[in-house]
Amino acid sequence: MTDKATLTLGEARIELPIIIGSEGERAIDIRDLRAQTGHITLDPGFGNTGSCESAITYIDGDAGILRYRGIPIEDFAASPNFGEVAWLLICGSLPTADEYDAFSTDLTRFANLDEGMKHQFEGFPRNAPPMAILSAMINALSCFHPELHELEDEGQFRIASARLISKIRTIAAYAFRHSRGLPYIYPDPNLRYVPNFLHMMFSQPYKQYVCPQMVRDAMNLILILHADHEQNCSTSTVRVVGSSGANLFASCAAGVCALWGPLHGGANVEVLTMLEEIHHGNMTPEDYVKLAKDKDSKVRLMGFGHRVYKNFDPRAKMLGEVAEKILPRLCGNDPLLDIARRLEEIALSDPYFIDRKLYPNVDFYSGILLRAMGIPTNMFTVMFSIGRLPGWIAHWWEQHRGHGQRIARPRQIYTGETQRPYVPIDQR
């Protein structure tokens, strides 16, 4: 196979190198295109643009494959352990027993927030969106750890990562407690990552929340399935912000903001709103699908479609199976699960969705599961953020350590006014 592409532009023939990834993905390297031809490429939404080379996550959207550092996500289902996967993504290989113990210990010892930071929650209105609080507080962490702004050696970076992964769940739980006017519950050093988070969410000063094994496993799996997804909108945001030299905390805070949007992480909230709307009898599943197909309605079938997956989303498949298995045990017959199944059935047999290769994505079932575990709807995207954080950190570090990395600075095709004179206000 050729290792060069040839572009003909008028009389000129330009040779462009082909880059081949470890799974055989091919890219035309256009780094020097503008210098050679005066042309740029135009690709709104970056659907056809590779922004970097990365060794973290592999996706084959047609085959429904998702692998973290080479390991298929299905392999994590038997005994899901989010801490182990976080290490894998960040450090590149599965932790040894000693590495895992040390990392778990760090996740436990860093769980507390500085008391000064705790007081900042009081300044937010009760109805503040938890994603706004999350982003603000992750950024605020950088004020409390200025020593972690300049991360050059591996050891320091791992400390910063553990701090962030540990504290994000404390921030998330405190945001929830604040919104309900409930006292903050301190992390319990005897509990592991997920049970400790649920303890901070749901324990009362007079009554400890006890996390059932089934919930612990399902929550670990949900977090794992959200942990990375290569160059998605929020991860690309983290990379873009990090490319300016911004610190890890500032870059991840920006990632939270990007994830918030309804077309990205915010879709899990929209899915539940949609299911509840149907459940409350405002619409039938058939009506909803009809509306989603009507271009004038601006309504989309939330939790459906993906930029990369054009056959099935393996994360949705796994979560759908977990929902089937644990929902009856957690909350009996959930009518929202029946509605979701019905919507899926209608959409998957409708030419509109078939022709456009639109299938359920990760957000389609995650909300139903989170709801069954007692997580309120407005916290769903926060849960996505907790899950996605190791991915953001891994990408930030990969870029930070990479050679020849440049500040992200796309170009544009200007379509505004051509040169015209300034007219003083009394002559307009």
| Site for ligand CMC contains 341 (CB under 6 A) | no
CB-nearer residue toward ligand CMC: 151 or 252:
252
In the complex, which residue's CB is closest to ligand CMC?
305
Q: Is residue 56 a contact residue for ligand CMC (CB under 6 A)? A: no
The pair of three-digit structure tokens given for residue 361, joined into one six-digit string: 């994505």
> What φ, ψ does residue 115 adopt, rounded to 5°?
-60, -35
Kindly state the smallest distance separating residue 144's Cβ from ligand CMC, in Å.
30
Angle ∠(181,363,45) on CA atoms, nearest 5: 110
Nearer to ligand CMC, 166 or 366 (CB): 366
- Amino acid at site 118: K
User: Which residues on neighbouring strands pair with residue 17, listed in sequence order?
Assistant: 4
| CB distance 58 to 23 below 8 Å | yes
Encoding tokens for residue 121?
């929650």
Shortest CA distance to 249 belongs to which of 175, 173, 168?
168
Reduced to 3 states (helix: H, G, I; strand: E, B; else coil), residue 190 is coil
Q: Residue 363 Cβ, how far from ligand CMC at the closest point, in Å?
A: 5
363 is catalytic: yes
Output phi, psi for 304, to 5 deg: -120, 140
- Which positions from 294 through 323 interact with ligand CMC, judged by CB under 6 A? 300-307
Q: Which is nearer to ligand CMC, 111 or 221 (CB)?
A: 221
Give the three-state DSSP class for 13. strand
> Quick one: which of 19, 20, 23 has its CA closest to 66?
23
What pairing do the DSSP bridges indicate for beta strands 71-72 and 4-9? Answer: unpaired
Query: How many residues in the shown chain lie near ligand CMC by CB under 6 A?
Result: 21
d(CA 243, CA 396): 8
Min CB(264)–ligand CMC separation in Å: 4
Site for ligand CMC in 249-288 (CB under 6 A): 263-265, 267
For the bound state, the minimum distance from the C-beta of residue 107 to ligand CMC, rounded and expressed in Å, comes to 25
Residue 306 known to be catalytic: yes
Closest approach, Cβ 361 to ligand CMC, in A, equals 4
- From 178, 226, 264, 306, active-site residue: 306
SS3 label, residue 28: strand
By CB under 6 A, the residues from 61 to 90 that bind ligand CMC are none
DSSP string for residues in 242-259: HHTT--HHHHHHHHHHHH
Structure tokens at 344: 């899926």
Nearer to ligand CMC, 82 or 364 (CB): 364
Render 61-99 in DSSP notation, one character per residue.
TTTTEEEETTEEGGGGSSS--HHHHHHHHHHSSPPPHHH
For residues 194 and 226, is the Cβ–Cβ distance under 8 A?
no
187 belongs to the binding site for ligand CMC (CB under 6 A): no
Q: Looking at 106, 264, 363, 395, which residue is catalytic?
A: 363
The binder of ligand CMC chosen from 358, 383, 389, 394 (CB under 6 A): 358
CB 234 within 8 A of CB 264: yes
How many whole angstroms from its chain centre is CA 62? 21
**Residue placing its CB nearer to ligand CMC in the complex, 110 or 380:** 380
* Shortest distance, position 265 Cβ to ligand CMC, whole Å: 5
Mark residues 11-50: x for contact with ligand CMC by CB under 6 A, - for none: ----------------------------------x-----
* CB neighbour list of residue 356: distance below 8 Å, 6 or more residues apart: 305
4 touching ligand CMC, by CB under 6 A:
no
398 near ligand CMC (CB under 6 A): no
Q: Which is nearer to ligand CMC, 361 or 385 (CB)?
A: 361
Q: Of 1-9, 72-80, 166-174, 354-362, which segment contacts ligand CMC by CB under 6 A?
A: 354-362
**Window contacting ligand CMC (CB under 6 A); options: 81-89, 110-118, 245-253, 353-361:** 353-361
CB 362 within 8 A of CB 387: no
Which of the stretches 1-9, 24-32, 103-111, 357-365 binds ligand CMC when contact is defined by CB under 6 A? 357-365
Residues that bind ligand CMC in the complex, under the rule CB under 6 A = 45, 229, 232, 263-265, 267, 292, 300-307, 356, 358, 361-363
User: Would you name the residues annotated as active-site residues?
Assistant: 306, 363
